[in-house]
Structure 1
Amino acid sequence: MKKRLISIDISIKAYQDFIKDLTTLALNKKSTYTCVANVHMLVEAYKSKDFAEVVNNADMVTPDGMPLAKGLKQIYGIEQDRVAGMDLLPDLLKEAESNGIKVVFYGGTQLTLDKTKEFCDQYYPNLDIVGLISPPFRELSEEEEKDYTDLINKSGAGFVFVALGCPKQEKWMANMKGRINACMIGIGGALPVMVGLQNRAPVWMQKTSTEWLYRLSQEPKRLFKRYAYTNTLFVYLMLKEKLKR
């Protein structure tokens, strides 16, 4: 089941059910994609019908940000678990390790992928990583795209963790559905946090919807304009939605 929150359809289920369902998709190597949605993604979808279609055609859309989980409570009275990429990624790696599911990491810098390999070797020693791919930042040619698709399919991966950033990773996954035989998940900024290149906010900030302030303090130049715009617009859209209802 999904519920529309302003511009995106969010999957409604318990956190552990997301883990279970995604693991089943990976075991079956079903060509699917999951969007891990936050306020930024919701606003991008609000501004672009084409991008909204990409997100809403996903097999699952998790409420990554606490504001989205709280938004579902305010609009529908639904007590929805937060399903953050920073929690989802390590839990799915644990499932992949215990179930013998092969994994590919697609996206991120070579440094991030090197750190990913070191991290997984230490904490998931039996995890079968069959691909660490850092594609060029530019748009890929059809031939390059086919080469990466063939590489992933031949690897036998069940999980493909996509770290290209929003909205690029969501568009890439939508384009690859039916072409890559795996469960694709857009993990974005969760990867550098997991491997220690960035720090995660304290638990109290995660629970009070202020995690964005911690991220802002880490990358003020890159994130100030985005947060000033997206957070303000989200609050306005939520107020508008509540008044309408």
Structure 2
Amino acid sequence: MKTYFNINYEFDRTKIHNSIAERLTLPGSDYICVADGVILNTANRHKQYLDIVNGGMFSICDSSYVPLYIRWIYGKRYEQYCGSQIFMDIIRSHKYRMIFMGTSQAILDGLKANLQKENPDVVQMQFVELPFRQVEEFDYPGIARIIETDGADIIWIALGAPKQEIFMSRLKPYLHHGVMIAVGAAFKFFSGTEVSRAPQWMIRCHLEFVHRIFKEPRKQLSRCTGILGSLPRLLWQEWQRKRHNTHTGH
């Protein structure tokens, strides 16, 4: 695990999956954040949220730009591992019992129908719509009872950032087992009902944000504005951190 831009990232995919498997052998629960540009921006503007993002096992890097920034500043090469990729990797692994929580029933129904093509065991798993409310208003003990009764190993959460990360941190104390992973738009991507991922050529060219702007202009333009507003400061701080570590031998 490495810390860049104040976020604790794990870039090694083998270590990510091994850490999940190991955590499931231990008592209690934990969570993984899928850190895209929105989370990077929000976490570095709000210390309490940054503590929540770093309070789980680690974050995976959902941003295609963060590896570019790291390469420019440090000369190190890392790869993006986005939420939709880890989501499908775990679905296709056939290793775990899972529960899917969040979003609307229509999206959940579409998601269940499509995931059964990848993993037939999904038909026996629960897809639970969570009511639309403030993050402080959820019945966390009641939600934990649903998960505990189900016996799920992986708890997928899709409420959108920053809500889903706060939700996981609040639910964690009530769970005795399981790894929660917040995957944001992945439910929509694989439900066949709403927003789809960008074509591969756009992803390779770091242009997925353009695709999402066309699909959800008001929402995505607002997010991009916030990210661009904080980016110069974050790059400068990381460059200064590199210089300090070089001078002190760290």
Aligned equivalents of 2:208, 2:44: Cα separation in 1: 22
Amino acid in the other structure paired with 1:154: T
Per-residue deviation, 1:10: 1.7
Alignment of 1:101-116 (within 5 A): 101-116=96-111
Aligned to 1:124: 119
Alpha-carbon contact 1:41-1:166 (below 8 Å) kept: yes
Structure 2 CA distance for aligned equivalents of residues 47 and 151 of structure 1: 34
**What are the within-5 Å matches in structure 2 for residues 166-185 of structure 1?**
166-180=161-175, 181-185=177-181
- Within 5 Å, which residues of 2 pair with 1:1-245? 1-5=1-5, 7-11=6-10, 13-26=11-24, 30-95=28-93, 97=94, 99=95, 101-127=96-122, 129-139=124-134, 144-180=139-175, 181-196=177-192, 197-239=194-236, 241-242=238-239, 245=243
Counterparts of 2:97 and 2:27 in 1: how far apart (Å)?
Answer: 10
Give the number of equivalent residue pairs: 240
Structure 1 alignment gaps of length 5 or more: none
* Structure 1 pair 141–233 and aligned structure 2 pair: CA distance change class (3 A): closer
Q: Is the contact made by 1:34 and 1:184 (CA closer than 8 Å) also made in structure 2?
A: yes
Consecutive unaligned residues in structure 2, runs of 5 or more: 244-250
State, as a whole percentage, how many aligned pairs show the same letter.
25
Q: TM-score, normalised by structure 1?
A: 0.88
Partner Cα separation in structure 2 for residue 64 and residue 140 of structure 1:
23
**Distance change >3 Å, CA 170–CA 27, structure 1 → 2:** same
- Partners of 2:133 and 2:191 in 1: how far apart? 25
Give a deviation string over 1:53-84, Cα, whole Å, max 9, x none. Answer: 00111101111111112222233332112110
Deviation of residue 223 (structure 1)?
Answer: 1.6
CA separation of 1:27 and 1:93: change in aligned 2, threshold 3 A: farther
Contact 2:159 / 2:184 at 8 angstroms: preserved in 1? yes
Greater mean alpha carbon deviation, residues 16-25 or residues 108-117: 16-25
The two structures, once aligned, show a CA RMSD in angstroms of 2.2
Cα 1:8–1:44 shift into 2, 3 Å: same
Q: Which amino acid aligns with 1:8?
A: I
Q: Which runs of 4+ in 1 moved over 4 A?
A: 26-30, 140-143
Query: Do the aligned partners of residues 159 and 239 (structure 1) sit closer, same or farther apart at CA in structure 2, a change above 3 Å counting?
Result: same
